[in-house]
Amino acid sequence: MRTITRRAGAVAAMLALTAACGSGGTSGGTQDADGKITVPIGVSLALSGQYASVGQSFREAIEHAVDAYPYKNFKPEMTYEDNRLDNGAAVQVFTKFASQAKVPVVLGGFAGPSIAVAPVADRTRTVYINPLAPTDKLAGHEYLFNTLPMTSEEMRTVAKAMWDAGHRKIGVVFAPDIDGGSATDVLAETFTRLGGTVAERQSVAADAVDFSSQVAKLKDADPDAIFGFAAYSVFAQVAKQIREAGVDVPLWSYRGFGEPTIFTIAKEAVEGTKYSDPSYSLDGTPEAAAATRKYREKHASKDPGAFFTSMYDATWVALSAIDAIAGETKAAPTGEDVKKLFDSQAFEAPYTGTTRFLNSGPERGTVKKPFALFEARDGAFVRVETLEPVS
């Protein structure tokens, strides 16, 4: 476990909130001699196991954001815990953060652990922020906030993009462990409604290495494109076996594909793959440009991918809210304070822009943002066009 503390400055002003020791419960914050409030923040990630590379990308983004944020009213104290991408472990980690450390906010990720901790977040009134995998099951909670749009909206949007690209008969491969079944249901329904055909759908296990059976069935269906909904490391292996089987139709995917490591795993097999991602710019703001520059310096001039940019923004939004509350109340915020601010105010995220959480109804805790279409080209991710969300 590692603790990181940084100094810093406010970005947003706060509307009326409860005091830090009000009805929202107690906070774990302290105040130092210079008047800066130290606020504990929890981080629950898969730092070991199959998805450790993703967890480490998330952690790197958090550390970059914590280091760069212009604090004014507080200092963060970051505690990282490994949930191993295990739902039970994720609940234990979250419960520890909420009951012992008294953190107002926990940063997390991945669909399964996030779904598991959602009721605990509501019960303990501790905000949980999910940056990348907002399955629709994560909408409608009181204390769970998703800084990127819902997967169903992305599936409708990418289905239309595939149709607009001229595809009429597609194959689909998906991973059930990340809610791929329900997500690709939406993709299939949308594509069919547009007039297309989903010729074959195959599920793949995250821990499998041989996908020959699924690939053979996809090949026999003779699609004009194949869409993959799986973690980038899994889809990279599937793509390699698709190409080895002599299937050369275009490949498509979704957020999370854009991780630079995919080129190391699959090399030319993923060249030309198009994928949707909530729209972001690597240099659209001074903050994003600075973070991108620092990332490139560390990673041999490679650009950051979706895991980095999404978690960087999620961290930035969390820090912005805490700094605003600390400046207003002169005390560490509770989870209820942060929730109230999220419900009432928009925040500017460096990579993805304005983040305004919906505060009521079945989509509560989600955001509306445009998508972009990217293409894997010569070992980089090239933005092709902006995609307006399809509701």
pLDDT, tens digit (0-9, with 9 covering 90-100), for 153-174: 999 999 999 999 999 999 999 9
Cα 9 from Cα 244, distance rounded (Å): 53
Please say if the pLDDT value at position 19 is more than 70.
no
Angstrom distances, CA of residue 57 to CA of 76, 226, 279, 353: 20, 27, 19, 21
CB atoms within 10 A of CB 264: 10
User: What is the pLDDT confidence band of residue 14, given thresholds at 50, 70 and 90?
Assistant: very low
Q: What is the DSSP secondary structure assignment for residue 303, as one 8-state letter?
A: P
Q: In the predicted model, is pLDDT for residue 104 greater than 70?
A: yes
Give the mean model confidence (pLDDT) for residues 96-112: 95
**Residue 18 pLDDT class (50, 70, 90 cuts):** very low
Task: State pLDDT tens for residues 307-317.
Answer: 899 999 999 99
**Whole-Å CA distances, 38 to 6, 44, 86, 358:** 9, 20, 30, 29
Domains and CATH numbers, the chain: 3-148+283-369 (3.40.50.2300), 151-278+372-387 (3.40.50.2300)
- Crossing angle of helices 306-329 and 286-298, rounded to 10°: 130
Residue 32 is predicted with a pLDDT of 64
Element at 16 (helix H, strand E): none
pLDDT higher than 70, residue 207: yes
Predicted TM-score (pTM) of this structure: 0.86
User: Would you place residue 279 in the very low, low, confident or very high pLDDT band (cuts 50, 70, 90)?
Assistant: confident
pLDDT at 6 exceeding the cut of 60: no
Give the Cα separation of 94 and 97 in Å (integer): 5
**Each residue of 126-155: pLDDT tens digit?**
999 999 777 888 999 999 999 999 999 999
Task: Report the percentage of the chain scoring pLDDT > 70.
Answer: 91
Give the amino acid at 332.
A
Cα 359 to chain center, whole Å?
Answer: 19
Q: What confidence category does residue 29 fall into, taking pLDDT thresholds of 50, 70 and 90?
A: low
Alpha-carbon distance values, 65 to 14, 154, 303, 335 (Å): 21, 26, 16, 21
- Chain centroid to Cα 269, Å, comes to 25
The Cα–Cα gap between 111 and 218 comes to: 26
Mean residue pLDDT of the chain comes to 90
Q: What is the mean pLDDT of residues 230-255?
A: 96
